[in-house]
Amino acid sequence: MTMTYEPAVRGDDARRTELAGFLRSRRERITPEQVGLPRGRRRRTPGLRREEVAQLSAVGVTWYTWLEQARPIQVSPQVLDAVARTLLLDPGERDHLFALAGVADPAPGTECPTVSAELRLLLEELEPIPACMQNSRYDILAYNRTYARLLCDLDAVPPEDRNCLWLAFTNEEWRSSLAQREETVRQMAGKFRAAMAGHLAEPAWKTLVGRLEKASPEFRELWDRHEVVAATGARSKHFVNALVGPLHLSHTSLWLGPSAGPRLVTYVPVDDESRAGVEKLHALVTEGA
């Protein structure tokens, strides 16, 4: 008996097909009036025509047509940004568009849709305890005022660079705040490699590794070791804060869903001196607000 198998659809092909369908669905829901175009009497296409999206996005009609046909063409972040604006995508849809296209969003300055208003309020209520929301890629999704000045002036960091791994290898203020920097960054790189095993095909993960390899020889050296470090529970952290000096804090991560989703990260003082330091830091950042 001879058995035949359907060829497996490659990941890139599947992503392009999904991207094409997503673009068509978003295009068909936009009315001409929403983007300042006349409807006309003979319009039969639901929503916008392909050539109208191309014109409004300042891209070629053929290129956009190929994009909706799932052809293997190069897609730049700038062009996707223009298409996203033309199609009036909300933040969640925009994130989905760039994920499907496999490129980094050049303008990710919108609030993360995975962090609800209730979670943001929780971060505020935890003050003066430094706390933030992260994902398994070490992206800092939201944070309270004390955490904003725990390791560096996080508000001054561009949103696309608010990632603990990136800051630990490239931001001098953040690096100088780590009392045991060499061991800390080694463990972070190992934990990231272990976590990445489940995200090898995801563009955002590969983009972060590429940026780090280009920016940091120290990261390249650690990454080439292929060390993996298992995630642990609560553990002690030593920092040297630029405003209040040494802090000894207990670091805890509370996952709020699947491991790829958000987690609440808190830093609780373990002694009286550190508690006084955290309270002083909170007072300083509150006064400066």
**Secondary structure of 49-87 in HEC code, one letter for each residue:** CHHHHHHHHCCCHHHHHHHHCCCCCCCCHHHHHHHHHHC
Lowest mean pLDDT among 143-147, 149-153, 173-177, 229-233: 229-233
On whether the CB atoms of residues 126 and 144 are closer than 8 A, the answer is yes
Residue 40 reports pLDDT greater than 70: no
Summarised one tens digit per residue, pLDDT across range 220-277 is 999 999 998 877 666 889 999 999 999 999 999 887 765 556 789 999 999 999 999 9
Q: Which residues of 258-284 are buried (b: 16+ CB within 10 A; e: fewer)?
A: eeeebbbbbbbbeeeebbebbbebbeb
Residue 49's pLDDT band (cuts 50, 70, 90)? confident
* CA–CA separation, 176 and 181 (whole Å): 8
- Specify the pLDDT at position 109: 52
Q: What is the DSSP letter of 139?
A: B
pTM for the model: 0.63
Summarised one tens digit per residue, pLDDT across range 82-138 is 888 888 888 888 888 888 888 877 665 554 555 778 888 999 999 999 999 998 888
Question: No. of H helices and E strands in the chain?
Answer: 13, 5
